[in-house]
Amino acid sequence: MVGKVIAVVLILAIIAGGVYYMLLGRYDSIHDILANPTKYASRDVLVKGTVTETVPLSFIPGIDYTGAYSLAEKDAKIWVGTKGQIPQRGAVKVVRGKVETSLKIMGRDVGTVIIEKEQK
């Protein structure tokens, strides 16, 4: 009986570890997204990085976003468009969003960005 309990506990621990890895432990690389944007185009990604710059956008007519912020991971940085609250510089954020290979703001192409769906 004790052996069965230990086996069940071990199986549950392995399953919990796998679920944790799938949900929180696997991030898409910002460097990889920027190096091969067509691979990630219109695809949901999960990235983690440090906020290095912020820009409010709500004052620009025709823009649906409250702002944008750059998210840095080692030697790569990508801009994230948000309809929510703009995070503080220096904050470490996990962002789930959709990659857009080209985004124009006021007629200017700002390149590959992530359109935020959720931030933690």
* Confidence band for 46, pLDDT divided at 50, 70 and 90: very high
How many residues in the chain?
120
What is the number of alpha carbons within 13 Å of residue 11 lying toward its C-beta? 6
**What are the helix (H) ranges across 21-99?**
30-35, 37-40
The residue-averaged pLDDT of 58-86 equals: 87
Fold category of 27-119 in CATH? OB fold (Dihydrolipoamide Acetyltransferase, E2P) (2.40.50)
Is residue 110 over pLDDT 60?
yes
**Position of tokens 């933690």?**
120
pLDDT of residue 19: 53
What is the number of alpha carbons within 13 Å of residue 69 lying toward its C-beta? 25
pLDDT of residue 22: 53
User: Which of 119, 53, 40 is CA-nearest to residue 82?
Assistant: 119
Sign of CA dihedral 69, 72, 77, 80: negative
pLDDT of residue 79: 92
The residue-averaged pLDDT of 93-106 equals: 85
97: number of Cβ within 10 Å: 22
CA 2, CA 62: separation in Å to the nearest integer?
65
Q: What is the pTM of this model?
A: 0.74
Is residue 42 over pLDDT 90?
no
For the chain, what is the mean pLDDT? 83
- The residues spanned by each domain of the chain are 27-119
